Structure 1
Amino acid sequence: MFEKDKDEVRDLRLFRDMAPSSFDKLMQAAYAQEFPARLEMIRQGARANFLHVVTQGSVELYSEWKGRDATMGIIGPVTSFILAACIRDAAHLMSARTLEPSRIVMIPAEDIRSAFREDQAFSISVLDELATDYRRMVRHTKNLKLRNARERLAAYLLVQSNRHSGAAGFTLPYEKRLLAAYLAVTPESLSRSFKALADHGVHVAGSRVTITDFGRLRRLAEPSDLID
């Protein structure tokens, strides 16, 4: 593994406060691996053997049941997943596959648990990370249950605008099929929602989105720190 990989992992909030000796010990058996696009890395139900850190590319977290599947999240660089299963020494509740060629740092779950027991600063960071993930999950669940499809899409577009420093125009980060799955709608429903948002100040051309009236879009979505 290159030093650049270690530096990127070290800079994550999860590992930033670890004692240098603890971090060095944690990384002894870790390694980085290149994965091609659309490769299944994790299968739901399998035991968590590694904590994964995306340093390049992107990964879709998804679940399947009775022939149906749902996108649970999309992970980009530099982000770790799935911490809870590693700490619990439990089975994965989600599968994971690459969306594009990706570089992943893999840290043995057993070493994560050892560091959790031995390094107080790391254990505090783990608790903070798990609490953050839980609150993110609650917000996403509220978004799905309390907003209709148009409102969810409107809120998503406002979040994307904020991530582009409030820009009125931006490119969707993922293909619309994935966006539909993430928002828990069918591709057809997503298409109808995009068309409906034309009346709320949104223009769409392919993957390019332009917000022409932020006020109308905000009135539809009613963004809130308790949901978004």
Structure 2
Amino acid sequence: MREADANRIRSLQLFASMQSERFGALTRGALLQTFPANGNLIYEADNVDYLYILLDGSVELQGRWHDKESTLAVLRPVSTFILAAVVLDAPALMSARTLEKSQVAMLPAEHFRAAMREDAAFAVAVAQELSGCYRGLVRTIKNHKLRSGNERLANYLLTQQIRQGGDTTIELPHEKRILASLLDLTPESLSRAFASLAKYDVEVTGSRVSIGNPAGLRRLARPNALIDNHALPKGVAQGKADKELWPLRNDRGCGAEVE
């Protein structure tokens, strides 16, 4: 593995406190591969021999039941995935495939677990990472169970507005099939939700979305710090200027776009 790639992995909070010699030993046994778009990395129920780290591109995590499948998360660099299965030495609960040409590092699972046993600070970092993943999952479940489809879409658009610099025109990062799954909607329900947001001057042209009334959209979304990554911090009034941005929180679920 190139030093530049190892440094990108090292920059992750998961590995930041790991002893240098142990990190070097772990990455020396790593594989670094480039996969084409729509490349299958993992299938549900597979034994997990590696911890996967997305360095470039994007990866979709999916679940399937009979003839149904759903997008559970979309990952952007630099992100780990299948961490819980590696820690527990358990089969994968999700499938993973690339959405575009992607570069993925793979750290041997057995060596990863050995490092956890031998390096206390690293074991704590793993626990913190898994805790963030868990909290991200709880946020997603609350979002899906407690909100209408229109409210979920409104909050998603606000999140994307922040990530893309605060402009009132944003680009949807995924095709609408994936976006519908992320929001726990059918494609038809997603289309109806977009249509219902027209009263807030939300206009959709292909993958481009114009948000003409951000304040009105926020009133519909009612962002909440216990659900959303874009919620206002305590003491900041909802009536602040439309272009004011507030920081995304840390526990967003292993780099996954699930909100």
TM range (shorter): over 0.9
Within 5 A, what are the aligned runs for 1:1-228? 1-228=1-228
Q: Are the aligned partners of 1:45 and 1:91 in contact in 2 as well (CA < 8 Å)?
A: yes
User: How far, CA to CA, are the matches of 1:165 and 1:177 in structure 2?
Assistant: 25
Count of residue pairs the alignment pairs up = 228
Whole-Å Cα distance in 2 between the matches of residues 108 and 209 of structure 1? 42
C-alpha distance in 2 between matches for 1:226 and 1:164: 22
- Secondary structure of the 2:156 match is helix
Query: For 2:48 and 2:108, how far apart are their aligned partners in 1?
Result: 9
Render the CA deviation track for 1:35-89: whole Å, top value 9, x for unaligned. 0111111001111111101111000000000211111100111111011100000
Question: Which residue identity is paired with 2:50?
Answer: F
- Report the secondary structure of 2:113's partner residue: helix
Q: Give the TM-score of the pair, scaled to structure 2.
A: 0.86
Is the contact between residue 200 and residue 220 of structure 1 (CA under 8 Å) also seen in structure 2?
A: no
Could you tell me which amino acid in structure 2 is paired with residue 162 of structure 1? I
- The 8 Å contact of residues 86 and 109 in structure 1, kept in 2 or not, is answered as yes
Q: Please give the secondary structure, in 1, of the residue aligned with 2:14.
A: coil
Percent identity over the alignment? 48
Q: Aligned partners of 2:85 and 2:23: how far apart in 1?
A: 20
| Partner Cα distance (1:225, 1:108) in 2 | 37
Pairwise CA distance, 1:198: 0.9
Post-superposition offset of 1:203: 1.6
Instruction: State the alpha-carbon separation in 2 of the partners of residues 3 and 174 from structure 1.
Output: 32
TM-score (norm 1): 0.98
Corresponding letter in the other structure for 2:136 = R
**In structure 2, what is the Cα distance between the partners aligned to 1:90 and 1:102?**
25
Structure 1 residues without counterparts, runs of 5 or longer: none
Output the amino acid matched with 2:163. Answer: R
Structure 2 CA distance for aligned equivalents of residues 19 and 210 of structure 1: 48
Q: CA deviation at 1:167?
A: 2.1
**Quick check: 1:142–1:227 contact (8 Å CA) kept in 2?**
yes
Shift of 1:168: 1.4
Secondary structure in 1 matching 2:166 = coil
Supply the distance in 2 between the matched residues of 1:152 and 1:197 (Cα, whole angstroms). Answer: 12
In structure 1, how many angstroms separate the alpha carbons of the residues matched to 2:91 and 2:177?
28
CA distance in 2, matches of 1:91, 1:225: 33
Name the aligned partner's letter for residue 176 of structure 1.
K
Q: Alignment RMSD, CA only?
A: 0.9
* C-alpha separation in 2, matches of 1:201 and 1:222: 17
